[in-house]
Chains A and B, each alone.
Chain A
Amino acid sequence: MGRIRAKYIKDKEVRFISHLDIVRALERAFRRADIPFVLTEGFNPKPKINFSPPLSLGYISKAEYFDLDVGDDMIPEEFIYRMNNVLPQGIMVIKAISIDEKSKSLNSIIKSSEYNVYYPFPEGVLSGIERFLSDEIMVEKESKKGKKTINIRPLIYSFSKVDEKNICLWLASNSSESVNPVYVVKAFLHFSGFDFEESNAIITRLEQYIDEKKNTPMREGVINEPINN
């Protein structure tokens, strides 16, 4: 038995596909690619697979991850090659490594995510980033228990301007604490006196990290350099 950790991107129209639909699309791709995956027990056997935290519908991602249990002799390079031969347009495996079967799940190790937000920001607004970050940022969040107001400032690790229309956000995204980039941009625009039109934003997840030092989930495995594309 072995386990493959793979990094894949979600691009173009595929950003409108929900996480659950992506899960099914990948399961089918394993079958088409003849990947020797391990089946779960029970009446409805499925490939044994574990995903990084789900991406919101409509976001592009350059760094999604999954761990898949496979037969012994699956070489990561071959896995990439076979998968990319059969994956639909817009989903592509860009990296794969073999990891120990006793490795902790992706969900438990991933602590933060980095995003690019494209938005037609009103002129001059981006000069106010520092002021915005200098105080508490109270945001109304909806949860199962109802609405509550929380301070999201501690969840923002960095917020920087890329150019007039793009910003880069590094945010907490672990199993106990996380903030969606939409909340941050919305709060920022409100702070600056503007409304936020969500349909004008294009959000891209750039990377997911396992600690604050920006180590990616791939670092845990055999390959020890940061994964960039």
Chain B
Amino acid sequence: MLKDRILNEILPCVEKPARYIGNELNSVHKQYMDGMVRFVFAFPDIYEIGMSHLGIKILYHLLNEREDTVCERVFAPWVDMEKIMRKEGIPLFSLESMTPVRDFDFVGFTLQYEMSYTNILNMLDLAGIPINAAERSESSPLVIAGGPCAYNPEPLAQFVDFFVMGEGEEVINEIIDTYKDCKDKGLSRKEILHCMAHIDGVYVPSLYIMTYNEDGTVKNVKPVDVDLPLKIKKRVIKDMNNSYYPEKMIVPYLQTVHDRIMLEIFRGCTRGCRFCQAGMIYRPVRERSWENLLELARKLVSSTGYDEISLVSLSSCDYTFLEELIYSLIDEFKGKGVGISLPSLRIDAAYVDIFNKIEEVRKSGITFAPEAGSQRLRDVINKNVTEEDLMNAVFSAFKFGWRTIKLYFMIGLPTETDEDLDGIAELGERVLQVYKEVNGNLKGLTVTMSASSFVPKPHTPFQWEAQDSMEELYRKQLLIKSKIRGHALRFTYHDVRLSFLEAVISRGDRRVSMVIKKAWEKGCRFDSWNECFNFETWMDAFKETGIDPAFYANRKREENEVFPWDHIDVGVTKEFLKRERRRAYEGKSTFDCRKFCIKCGIQDFEEGLKCYGQN
């Protein structure tokens, strides 16, 4: 038995065996019976990362509510486990029943970040499933993928049988039903894929042909059959209050990155930061009612026993009934040692006040994201906060007794100059001044200023932009570093090489899949992990495949260039993105569309779809 071998021979020899045993509280163990659909949800990173992901929690329980479906989980085995598995001939297996992944009907990957792509190939290989979709047989599982990075599916087009665009809860049942129907009719793999391609939101890359211009840009993407859609529209939940949300969540034994109840208070974001992909692709904003959330929180606390509830969304302080929600949660759970946390914080003194209420239960650091060092640049990226907002918020935080502040910045933004960068250090200095005003000295204060590098992303107003060269980004990091002084200020920054690769892959076309494959063949995996990342190998992979990474990362696109993701419709129109880009260059910010509609296109995307505040 595979299970006995894993438990008795393999697991005693690996670091953190709990990553591979499953069996956690609220995990679902179903007896597989003939005719059932077997789905394995695959996360291309280790257990502790994957189990922090909200999507997996929702879809896992949703699928398992179907009597005709078994949904299990698999994560990327860490390097020590992979070594033993390869040596002992143990195929990649699911956590719940320790069944080989290749025996499932579906292997569903979630694409959360580009640097996890080599892990996908590695997991397929460990499972004994052919890497290339075209080489799979009738008995191979259907390898499918969804999640934010799927909105540019092309770099993975060669490896994935079909992509799911948009919100999984909305479409996954149709996919399972269609599959069962096809199986009943005895259809072949090819025929099944044809049927899938007719489900709204499903993209079967093998049924679309991508052609290129002489200069290397994309000419067009066309379906092979006339009856296939020219554009694949994302799927959207219309009413969050009536959409599925699990009342139970798996409680891992291992400490995961987000080891707490995740209460999703709304989807989408109205702020319209021009660099932010999430802010564009998850539109429109749809809130859950606070009464609904309170009820969910009660059920989740009693089914999990967690001591913390995190209010998650893209910008939780924007939630309309935030005070009602927080005060009722505190009332309900305070005596039980259950804390409330609010991940992303808007720069606004009024919200620091609310935050302080929360922190009566639990105290941690406070984070603000000004993103840029000058007002000019903040207007360019449409981050609608002023220095005054920031200082008021910081003042309030210090008044309430916080001593640890984190400030997030981005470097390499369009139109950025060295003066903008100087502004970062100056902001840090001003924060110190405010602390002195409040406390008289700098005792106990730590301000961590962190700079990530701008990566232009598809479906954003900055999708046309060039990324700064690595040398330039590196110069900018050192420039900021040289200006930051004093022991109370700390400066950290991201590896520019990772941001560079991310820029190549995120705006890649089908040719980029050759590089991903080559890099994997040469040993790359866990690229987002310091101890595993090997940049030289990636550069060799570019050379050997004859692909120029700068073409993807550092080239400014013509306004009318056809993009590899233009056949994917996220609801926000290209005209809106162009308009926002023009406004960026004019240094004009755009209102938060909670105030009034800025005509991004999502309102007309689908009948019955309502934006925030529209009744």
> In the bound complex, do residue A28 and residue B11 qualify as a contact, i.e. CB atoms below 8 Å apart?
no
Q: Classify the interface of chain A: helix, strand, loop or mixed.
A: helix
Interface flag for B301 (CB, 8 Å)? yes
CA of A28 to CA of B251, assembled, Å: 9
Are B305 and A31 in touch, CB under 8 angstroms? yes
Say yes or no for B469: interface residue by CB 8 A criterion.
no
Smallest CB separation, B98 vs chain A (Å): 10
Q: Which residue of B lies closest to A33 (CB)?
A: B305
A57 contacts B337, CB within 8 Å? no
Set of chain A residues within 8 Å of B301, measured between Cβ atoms: 31
A28 near B337: Cβ-Cβ < 8 Å = no
Q: How far is the CA of A17 from the CA of B24 in the complex (A)?
A: 10
Interface residue B528 (Cβ < 8 Å from any Cβ of A): no
Question: 1/0 per position for A78-116, CB-CB distance to B under 8 A?
Answer: 000000001011100000000000000000000000000
Q: Does A124 contact B (CB under 8 A)?
A: no
Report whether A16 and B307 are in contact in the complex, using a CB–CB cutoff of 8 Å.
Answer: no
* Residue contact A32 to B302, C-beta cutoff 8 Å: yes
Q: Is A198 an interface residue (CB 8 A)?
A: yes
For residue A221, CB closer than 8 A to chain B, the reply is: no
Assembled-state Cα–Cα distance A33/B302 (Å)? 8
- A37-45, A156-164, A173-181 - the one binding chain B: A37-45
Cβ-based interface call for A18 (8 A): yes
Interface size on B, residues (CB 8 A): 29
B12 located at the interface, meaning its Cβ lies under 8 Å from any Cβ of chain A in the complex: yes
Asked if A185 is an interface residue, CB under 8 A from chain B, the answer is no
Residues of chain A within 8 A (CB-CB) of B336 are 31
Q: In the complex the two chains form, what is the Cα distance from A28 to B11 in whole Å? A: 26
State A96–B22 Cα separation when bound (angstroms).
28
Select one of A20, A22, A44, A88 contacting B25, CB under 8 A: A88
A13 touching B21, Cβ below 8 Å = yes
The answer to whether B303 touches A32, judged by C-beta atoms less than 8 angstroms apart, is: yes
CB nearest neighbor in B for A37: B337
List residues of chain A with CB within 8 A of the CB of B302. Answer: 32
B254/A21 in contact, CB under 8 A: yes
Contact with A along B9-47 (1 / 0, CB 8 A): 101110001100111110000000000000000000000
Given A21-B254, A88-B23, are A30 and B305 neighbors across the interface (CB < 8 Å)? yes
B8 contacts which chain A residues (CB < 8 A)?
A: 199, 202
Chain B contacts of A30 at CB under 8 A? 305
Give A83 Cβ to nearest chain B Cβ, in Å. Answer: 11
Q: Does A213 contact B (CB under 8 A)?
A: no
Candidates A13, A17, A22, A199; contact of B13 at CB < 8 Å:
A199
Choose from B21, B24, B305, B362 the contact partner of A27 (Cβ within 8 Å). Answer: B305
Task: Report if A58-B253 is in contact (Cβ < 8 Å); known contacts: A31-B307, A44-B362.
Answer: no
From B12, B17, B21, B254, A198 is in contact (CB under 8 Å) with B12
Interface centre among A12, A16, A58 (most CB of B within 10 A): A16
Determine the distance from Cα of A136 to Cα of B302 in the docked complex, in whole angstroms: 55
Contact between B255 and A28 (Cβ–Cβ < 8 Å)? Answer: no
| C-alpha gap A29/B9 in the complex (Å) | 30
| Smallest beta-carbon distance A20→chain B, Å | 8
- Cβ of A219 < 8 Å from any Cβ of B? no
Whether A28 contacts B12 in the complex (CB less than 8 A), given A16-B21, A46-B337, comes out as no
Q: Can you add 17 more A-B contacts, CB < 8 Å, to A21-B253, A33-B305, A199-B8?
A: A13-B22, A16-B21, A24-B255, A27-B305, A28-B307, A29-B305, A31-B301, A31-B306, A31-B307, A31-B336, A31-B338, A32-B302, A39-B337, A88-B25, A88-B251, A89-B23, A202-B8
7 CB contacts below 8 A, A to B, read A13-B22, A25-B25, A28-B251, A28-B305, A30-B305, A45-B337, A199-B9
Q: Which residues of B contact A (CB under 8 A)?
A: 7-9, 11-13, 17-18, 21-25, 251, 253-255, 301-307, 336-338, 362-363
In the A-B complex, the 5 residue pairs with the smallest Cβ-Cβ separation, listed nearest first, are A28-B305, A16-B17, A31-B305, A32-B305, A13-B21
